[in-house]
A and B are shown apart, each in its own frame.
Chain A
């Protein structure tokens, strides 16, 4: 349907580019100094080009007009016009996490900057490299409550890894170089550069060969691990009888090599391995050593193995409260080794026995080399015994569900989606809630950078704009936003962006007409008083798709599901698939708040027997 409409949209403003003259008007070259004079806005774009930036997600406004004017004349940087600044940051996050490169955002002063705050906080919590360029009122008006003025560096100080206010155009080039370095090195994160309009318009000398090393010297986090710590790690590993590898997002951020090395480590040791929500894909889901995700909605075997292990090797995870559950009951009898690039993650929540500071790839390389030198061999009899115990837990089959009757179970919908996309080059994003946990449980990831979700901040509305960013980076791939209907409504203005650029994102909405996770907690700890958690007045998603000239599909019954998935995957443009699922399904297994790993709810029967403790009720 509406294919002519899609064609019309695909040729709209976003893809129009003006030819660019070699040198803009007023630009002078001075080859002797290797410099060229140009306005700050043009220098900014040139420096972005130098940093390898190809795409910018943004939204124009008064204070950034000089940058948009420079973009009009630029033919190297592609600008994707979003419909809300929060979405620009999530799109940049999706772009960054699926490529390993830094995502770039361009928004205006005041409301442009404040709208970006949620995205920046999300990127900070999940360690995503993003550079956000914000416009600012001219320097002489700063502090005067000027039109569209906000104290952007003040507001974003707590939600960025670092931020800058550029008051002197002479410092602009080195500031941008440092910003990209800070965003991507060490533990990655969002960096913001606030750009007053007069700075963007002032003329300045662009240095063709800037001293990058000097601009980066101020921030040099440790990436190579201390050899003594590596040696001590192997000492502990040699004594392990009931070991576990607990991997996290640091493995993904370190680059695909870290995942290859993890796989090698798992093969060499034969150790059971669990991954956090952020780490999924670092070890192939079908590897027999993989126990599934751990934590609040992790598998029975992963959580019990964490609880019962005697040696824990944490690679790039941060002992988040969703993972540990009750701290005093967390893995009480284990020797804990924590490998992390961020020293402030060590001993923050859980006291560990050994810390190894460095980049995950370098740590794994050093570790594997040391193990080889020392002729590491796992202690076979005890490891076999440990695996026998784990296999016993696995037999509980904690993720089983019964798809009976006509109504679609959400777990079944995601499982079928996974099975039917097995031969696709697939990238998955999610929103936040029950569907997110089911996606983590039932979708199998075999490679890193294929799974984009809002972990630390839990931002509803993340998935659609993130999928947009992923699709921009991977034009020919299948990008699916596994969404809940409530989260989807939080950023669905981005349907217009998908339409403009004809980005063929598939929106797979697990529609139970509830804010499902809120409803689940109200059922568990608030006596079933479902206060304001019903998704009333939902749109007809098929008609909604139609208004944007997209394909809209609906699956009412289990029998429809395969047909809907097939049609969704075969449609060349964006698709909204409204999957009507069981309304009252809860997400299990679950460690209720305030409980330890060995105190899980496996299903509705457990839920009745084990009420949440009073201490647990105050936790989120």
Chain B
């Protein structure tokens, strides 16, 4: 259809009923229709109403992104869908826990870099640290890459969580 398809990265937030199988429905939709998932986070956000918020980072052509939103919106347990990348309104954050095992100059250098990235030190032994770093995905990527060059590294990342700027509520329950 289009000559050179433009691939865009979008953060899509979804408010769902926190019921069994709802995550499988969302993931199954992505895998069944061949959409990408770059990251996915989910947790209950309103215990009283039993609502969870899912944040999906996905990529595709504008036509595919529109399809993803329309397909999500027609699932029964989904209350609302919002594309936070539209109009560039999103604040996105990701948290990573990074364990690095090293000694000597590399150990000192890793501590200095952690300081630059405003990472917190959560744990230490004589030859290891566990850092907590928070930021957008590219900051976390940069930090992890630097750590890898300084020792053996293990990473746990939360995936992206996002919310819009301003005084508008992103997602309303039905």
Contacts and interface: CB of A to CB of B under 8 A. Distances in A.
B152 interface: no
A157 B28 contact: yes
Contact of A158 (B28, B70, B74, B77): B28
A351 B66 CA distance: 11
A344 B28 contact: no
Interface stretch (B17-25, B106-114, B132-140, B161-169): B17-25
A362 interface: no
Interface string B70-86: 11011111000000000
Interface in B144-174: 174
Main secondary structure of the interface of A (DSSP, over half): loop
A535 B122 CA distance: 71
Contacts of B76: 161-162, 182, 218-219
A217 B77 CA distance: 11
B63 A165 contact: no
Interface in A119-160: 153-154, 157-158
Contact of B25 (A157, A220, A348, A351): A157
Contacts of A221: 74
Interface string B35-68: 0000000000000000000000000000100110
A221 B63 CA distance: 22
Contact of A343 (B1, B28, B70, B77): B70
Given A157-B28, A219-B76, A327-B1, A344 B21 contact: no
Given A182-B76, A219-B76, A154 B63 contact: no
A161 B74 CA distance: 9
Contacts of A187: 74
A346 interface: yes
Contact of B74 (A165, A327, A343): A343
Interface centre among B28, B74, B77 (most CB of A within 10 A): B74
A421 interface: no
Contact of A154 (B1, B24, B74, B174): B24
Given A343-B74, A347-B63, A158 B32 contact: yes
Q: How large is the interface on A (under 10, 10 to 19, 20 to 34, 35 or more residues)?
A: 20 to 34
A157 B24 contact: yes
A566 interface: no
B155 to A, nearest CB: 31
A571 interface: no
Contact of A344 (B24, B74, B174): B74
Contacts of A165: 20-21
Nearest to A343: B70
A198 interface: no
A328 B1 CA distance: 6
A342 interface: yes
B67 A348 contact: yes
A162 B29 CA distance: 12
Given A347-B63, A348-B67, A218 B74 contact: no
Nearest to B24: A157
Contacts of A220: 174
Interface string A346-359: 11100100000000
Given A218-B76, A219-B76, A344 B1 contact: no
Nearest to A157: B28
B21 to A, nearest CB: 6
A165 B73 CA distance: 22
29 contacts: A154-B21, A157-B24, A157-B28, A158-B32, A161-B76, A162-B75, A162-B76, A165-B20, A165-B21, A186-B74, A218-B17, A218-B77, A218-B174, A219-B76, A327-B1, A328-B1, A343-B70, A343-B73, A343-B74, A344-B70, A344-B71, A344-B73, A344-B74, A346-B70, A347-B63, A347-B66, A347-B67, A348-B67, A351-B1
Enumerate the 10 nearest inter-chain pairs by beta-carbon distance, A residue then B residue, closest first.
A344-B70, A162-B76, A343-B70, A344-B71, A219-B76, A158-B32, A157-B28, A344-B74, A158-B28, A348-B67
Given A157-B24, A162-B76, A351-B1, 12 more contacts: A158-B28, A158-B32, A165-B20, A217-B174, A327-B1, A328-B1, A343-B70, A344-B70, A344-B74, A347-B63, A347-B66, A351-B63
